[in-house]
Every structure is written in structure tokens, then in C-alpha cells.
């Protein structure tokens, strides 16, 4: 066992023991504790737990990888997700907390005075959440398979077991306090390596400042970004600081889809039901933004520096010179270990024993490469999801830092998986079982049903992680599109349109999620590219895309369809009862907000 193995097992083992210990301490004893942690979580603590719930494996592992390979274009994730939290804080969180219910489908069922609306909301919630949780399962499998030297499948089983212990035992109460610990782990794991690498590349320990600073190894004559632009364009890749993902319209649609999808994700919304007062819901959202910003402002620096380190590792001398490329036999240890996972693959196309890594799709550079004796890009696979995990190794950081990054990646995946699984189990036990089929079920029986539903959700999520369906295998960004197209419009109209009735809301949700799923299935052959990031594939342009909008970004179109259908149907059907219209007005009135829920 190597020194790195000892560090990794020790750090990961310590964090897992901490999560299990918290779960035992915070065991839920009532449905209130299982669903909303008893409604007594402090806003700062809830903000930290929300940050961990939100910053998934996609944020921790994949986002910086997307930024590393898509440059400026990947800013859609930073803008979309952060903007979504602003929408959530201003337009949804306080009003939903004032309504005083346990789950999003329960709000929709009561607001639209319809069990059918509640059932449709449950279906939409499960579709979005299951799609999202598949990405977390891949994150767990990737981290385990590389650093704990287990198979992807075994890593997934271990992750499922850990989640089962603290989520089934503690429900929202156990998940909340576990997520606070997970946030501390993941933010340290993300920022400490970034500080080390920024210091070595720019001489500045603050990554956010270092990104715009000078490239220190070059003597400060060139900025870091200018150096990166030079390195990638010299090898035929697009300029890092100007490349975009598809058309400008697609960038706009993608950003907006992520924004409203964020505001409509049920596992995030449910966190605002855990605080004591309506005012605390706003404070929680504000604190969550602060905690999220620590990682999100660091991610561009991590992505850029990871890309530069990777290129410099392979291109060790002047382009085209005999010694310009790294000898495959001299590849570093981290390269060999990632090759063993299959996430990094090399093919010696010209039999010279050296690694040529360049863009062979660039015709102008391909001609030049041919004159060097190169016969194609030999890095035939560089999975974007390895960049954050491999970056400390590439940079030669201490083993304890590498071990901390592994623990952070697992914490990010586990924390979000737990929140998603709770949202799914709550929808089944509280909204379907108690709300529809067995309204007189006892609290103890409902609590047991909630735990049983959680076990079932974990098993289904694990199965889908091992055998992902075609429409969800490539990306968790689809989950945001599904939430944007179905849940967000129903919540917005429920809060701000007292004349919106149940027929309009039901028709809107079905139309929105239906058209989005249809578009995704129709274009999955274009959309999913094997071996690309589980957050989003490399953006090409489908010939039959609707106005050039990719399936990842189509949620905003689905949302527009939802709103449009809902307005039309509501206009030709009976308005809501008077007491429902008064209820909507009461929810929006700031004065006496606490009185609506007995505070």
C-alpha cells in the first residue's frame, strides 16, 4: 500500500465515520423531523447544508472540467446556477415557507385544490430527481474506482450504503447535519489545492485573483489566460477565453434553463421548509449564496489551471521538435493510474513512442501536424470528469491534499444524492401514500413508509447508476430542463397568479415536461457523445435543433410551453374558488407572515 493509499483511506474513512456518527446522533423520531428536520434549523446552518445539497458531483467534479475544455462557454453554468438561487431567494423560498407544507407536490396539490395536480407534480419531481441522481452515482463511482482502487460497481455499492445509513435513519434531520459536515469537507477539498496551484502558477495564493494575474513560471511577462490561449491555439484548439457552446441564442437559452431549473429543483426548495420562520427562508438563501460562491468563484481558476497543467505535462518542448512531446514510457504515475480506469486513453498512431495531443479536426493545424510526422491526436480519450480529481496529482501536490480532494468529491456526490433521494421518498410516502391513497395512516406508519421509500429510492438510483438509461446517461443538466419545464412554472403561477386554476396548472405541467422529454429523446443520437462529461457533452450543433437550441437548454422552451398552455386552459375554464384566491393573496402579504404558519 502506497503512502497515497494510506492517506486516502484514512481521510475518506474518517469522513464516512463522521457522517455515520452524525446520523446516529440526529435520528429522526417523527415525520416532521424526517421531512423538514422539525422546522428548527438555524438559517446559517441551513445555508451551509443547502450549499452542500446544491454543490453536487456535477459542481465539484464536472463543472471545472467543463470550464477547462470549453473556456468562456462554460460560464453558462456559473451564471445559470447562481442566477437561479437569486430567483429562488426572491420569488419562491419565502412564500413557500409561509405556506407551511412539507413538500413541493403538497403545495401544488393544496394551491390547485386537486389531487391530480399533486400526482402530476410527484411524477415531474421523480423524473427530474432520478435524472439528477444518476450523475451523483457516476461521481461516486469515478472517485472510488480511481483512488480506492475498486471497481466502479463496488464504489457505487459503498456510496449507496453510506447514504442509506444516514438518510434512512435521520431523514431530513440527519441529512441536514451531515450536509453541514460535508460542506466543510468539500469546500476545503476544493479551495486548498486551488491555493497551492495558484501560488505555483501565478505567485498569488488567491485563485480568483491569480486567474487574472501573471504567469509566474514565465517571469511575469504574460498573463495566465494569455499563456493558456497561446498554448491551446498553438495546438489547434479554440482560443480559451472566447469559445462558446453553440450559438449565442443557445448560450442564452442554456443559462435561462439552468436558472429556472435551479429555482424549480424540489430537493433544493425543500431545504427552505426546515427553518423556523418565513424571514429565515430568505436569510438561508442568502447564506447559501455566500457558501456556494466560495466554490463557484474558485471553479474558473481551477478549470483554467488544470487545462494549462495538463497541456504542459504532455507538450514538454517546442511544437514539432523531436523532443517536444512527452515520451509515453516516461508518463507520470497519475497518468498510468487514470489509464487504468479507462477515463484516460492513449493510442500511438505514428509509432514514435511520444504523445501527440492536438486538435486534429482543425484542418489548418492538421496540415502542419502532418509535416511533423503526426498522424492524429493520440489522446483519444480525456474524460472531463477527471480534471478536478487529477489536478492535484498533475501539479505534484502532497498526498494529503490529493486524499482531501477524493473525500471532497465523495462528499459532494453523497450530499446531493441524499437530498434528491429524500425528495423522492417524501413524494412517495407523504404525497402519494398519505396524501392520496391512505390519508388516515398514523404518523409512525408514515415514518416507516418514508424510510422504506428511501431504501427503495436508493436501490433504484443504484440500479440506474449501474445501468443508466439513454436519455440520462450523458448529463445531469437534463434534470434542470425537466424541473424548469414542469415545476417552476407551476410554483410561479401558484404564488403570483390567483386566477390560475387546477386545469391550467395540470395541463401546463404535462405539456411542458412532455415537450421537453420528446425533444430529448428525439435528439439523443446527436446529443450524447460517449466519454464526455456527465454534466454536459461537448457542444456541437444539430442540424434539426429547434432554432439551434440544444436538448440541454430546451427546458426554457418547455417552460414557455407550460406557461402558454396554462394561460390558455385557465382562460377557458372556471376560475379557482374564492378561498383559494384569498389564500394566494395571504401567502404574498409580507405583514404578519409568521402568523400564517403559527409563528
Query: Given a cut of 60, is residue 537 above it in pLDDT?
Result: no
- Percentage of the chain with pLDDT > 70? 88
CA distance linking residue 344 with residue 357, whole number of Å:
12
Output the average pLDDT for the chain.
Answer: 81
Query: Given a cut of 50, is residue 38 above it in pLDDT?
Result: yes
CA distance linking residue 359 with residue 564, whole number of Å:
44
N- to C-terminal Cα separation, the chain: 57
Task: Please list, in sequence order, all residues whose beta carbon lies within 8 angstroms of the beta carbon of residue 250, skipping any fewer than 6 positions away.
Answer: 539, 548, 549, 550, 553
Is residue 243 within 8 Å of 72, Cβ to Cβ? yes
pLDDT digits (tens, 9 = 90+) for 566-596: 999 999 999 999 988 888 888 776 544 444 4
- Rounded mean pLDDT of 517-545? 52
pLDDT at 525: 43
Lowest-pLDDT range of 20-34, 306-320, 487-501, 530-544: 530-544
DSSP tag of 434 = I
CA distance linking residue 139 with residue 145, whole number of Å:
10
- Rounded mean pLDDT of 545-570? 87
pLDDT at 472: 40
Query: Given a cut of 90, is residue 254 above it in pLDDT?
Result: no
- Rounded mean pLDDT of 352-374? 89
CA distance linking residue 521 with residue 531, whole number of Å:
19
- Rounded mean pLDDT of 151-166? 79
Lowest-pLDDT range of 162-176, 212-226, 365-379, 504-518: 162-176
pTM metric for this prediction: 0.79
pLDDT digits (tens, 9 = 90+) for 108-124: 988 998 899 999 999 99
Residue 283 pLDDT grade (very low, low, confident, very high; cuts 50, 70, 90): confident
Query: Given a cut of 50, is residue 182 above it in pLDDT?
Result: yes
pLDDT at 534: 37
| Cross-strand pairs, 223 | 214
**Assigned CATH class of 3-20+43-306+394-590:** mainly alpha
pLDDT at 507: 96
pLDDT digits (tens, 9 = 90+) for 458-469: 888 888 777 765
- Rounded mean pLDDT of 409-416? 80
pLDDT at 277: 79
Residue 175 pLDDT grade (very low, low, confident, very high; cuts 50, 70, 90): confident
pLDDT at 503: 94
- Rounded mean pLDDT of 413-432? 80
Query: Given a cut of 90, is residue 71 above it in pLDDT?
Result: no
pLDDT at 500: 92
CA distance linking residue 56 with residue 540, whole number of Å:
25
pLDDT at 488: 92
Residue 5 pLDDT grade (very low, low, confident, very high; cuts 50, 70, 90): confident
Amino acid at each position: 500500500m502506497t503512502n497515497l493509499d494510506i492517506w486516502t483511506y484514512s481521510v475518506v474513512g474518517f469522513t464516512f465515520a463522521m457522517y455515520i456518527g452524525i446520523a446516529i446522533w440526529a435520528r429522526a423520531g417523527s415525520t416532521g423531523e424526517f421531512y423538514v428536520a422539525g422546522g428548527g434549523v438555524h438559517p446559517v446552518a441551513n445555508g451551509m447544508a443547502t450549499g452542500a445539497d446544491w454543490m453536487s458531483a456535477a459542481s465539484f467534479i464536472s463543472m471545472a472540467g467543463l470550464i477547462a475544455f470549453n473556456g468562456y462557454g462554460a460560464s453558462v453554468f456559473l451564471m445559470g446556477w447562481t442566477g437561479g438561487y437569486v430567483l429562488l431567494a426572491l420569488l419562491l423560498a419565502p412564500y413557500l415557507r409561509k405556506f407551511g407544507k412539507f413538500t413541493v407536490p403538497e403545495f401544488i396539490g393544496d394551491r390547485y385544490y386537486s389531487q391530480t395536480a399533486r400526482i402530476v407534480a410527484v411524477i415531474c419531481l421523480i423524473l427530474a430527481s432520478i435524472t439528477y441522481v444518476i450523475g451523483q452515482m457516476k461521481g461516486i463511482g469515478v472517485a472510488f474506482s480511481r483512488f480506492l482502487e475498486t471497481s466502479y460497481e463496488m464504489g457505487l455499492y459503498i456510496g449507496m450504503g453510506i447514504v442509506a445509513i444516514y438518510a434512512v435513519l435521520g431523514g431530513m434531520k440527519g441529512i441536514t447535519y451531515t450536509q453541514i459536515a460535508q460542506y466543510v469537507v468539500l469546500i476545503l477539498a476544493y479551495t486548498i489545492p486551488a491555493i497551492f496551484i495558484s501560488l505555483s502558477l501565478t505567485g498569488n495564493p488567491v485563485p480568483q485573483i491569480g486567474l487574472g494575474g501573471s504567469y509566474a513560471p514565465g517571469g511575469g511577462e504574460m498573463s495566465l489566460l494569455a499563456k493558456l490561449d497561446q498554448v491551446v491555439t498553438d495546438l489547434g484548439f479554440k482560443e480559451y477565453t472566447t469559445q462558446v457552446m453553440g450559438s449565442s441564442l443557445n448560450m442564452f437559452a442554456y443559462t435561462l434553463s439552468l436558472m429556472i431549473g435551479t429555482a424549480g429543483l424540489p430537493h433544493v426548495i425543500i431545504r427552505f421548509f426546515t427553518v423556523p420562520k418565513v424571514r429565515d427562508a430568505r436569510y438561508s438563501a442568502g447564506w447559501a449564496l455566500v457558501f456556494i460562491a466560495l466554490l463557484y468563484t474558485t471553479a474558473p481558476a481551477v478549470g483554467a489551471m488544470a487545462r494549462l497543467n495538463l497541456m504542459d505535462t504532455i507538450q514538454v518542448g517546442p511544437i514539432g521538435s523531436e523532443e517536444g512531446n512527452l515520451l509515453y514510457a516516461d508518463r507520470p504515475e497519475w497518468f498510468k493510474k487514470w489509464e487504468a480506469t479507462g477515463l484516460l486513453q492513449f493510442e500511438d498512431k505514428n509509432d514514435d513512442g511520444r504523445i501527440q495531443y492536438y486538435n486534429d479536426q482543425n484542418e489548418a493545424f492538421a496540415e502542419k501536424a502532418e509535416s511533423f510526422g503526426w498522424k492524429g491526436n493520440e489522446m483519444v480519450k480525456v474524460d472531463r470528469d477527471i480534471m478536478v480529481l487529477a489536478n492535484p496529482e498533475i501539479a505534484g501536490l502532497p498526498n494529503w491534499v490529493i486524499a482531501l480532494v477524493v473525500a471532497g468529491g465523495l462528499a459532494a456526490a453523497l450530499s446531493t444524492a441524499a437530498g434528491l433521494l429524500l425528495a423522492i421518498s417524501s413524494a412517495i410516502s407523504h404525497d402519494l401514500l398519505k396524501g392520496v391513497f391512505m390519508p388516515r395512516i398514523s404518523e409512525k406508519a408514515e415514518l416507516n413508509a418514508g424510510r422504506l421509500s428511501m431504501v427503495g429510492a436508493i436501490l433504484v438510483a443504484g440500479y440506474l447508476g449501474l445501468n443508466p438509461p439513454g436519455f440520462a446517461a450523458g448529463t445531469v443538466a437534463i434534470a434542470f430542463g425537466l424541473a424548469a419545464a414542469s415545476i417552476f412554472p407551476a410554483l410561479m403561477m401558484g404564488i403570483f397568479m390567483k386566477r390560475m386554476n387546477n386545469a391550467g396548472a395540470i395541463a401546463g405541467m404535462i405539456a411542458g415536461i412532455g415537450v421537453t422529454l420528446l425533444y430529448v429523446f428525439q435528439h439523443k443520437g446527436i446529443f450524447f457523445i460517449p466519454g464526455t462529461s456527465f454534466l454536459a457533452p461537448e457542444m456541437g450543433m444539430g442540424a434539426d435543433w429547434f432554432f439551434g437550441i440544444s436538448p440541454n437548454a430546451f427546458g426554457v422552451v418547455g417552460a414557455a410551453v407550460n406557461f402558454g398552455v396554462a394561460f390558455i386552459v385557465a382562460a377557458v375554464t372556471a376560475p379557482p374558488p374564492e378561498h383559494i384566491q384569498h389564500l394566494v393573496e395571504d401567502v404574498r402579504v409580507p405583514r404578519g407572515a409568521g402568523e400564517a404558519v403559527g409563528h
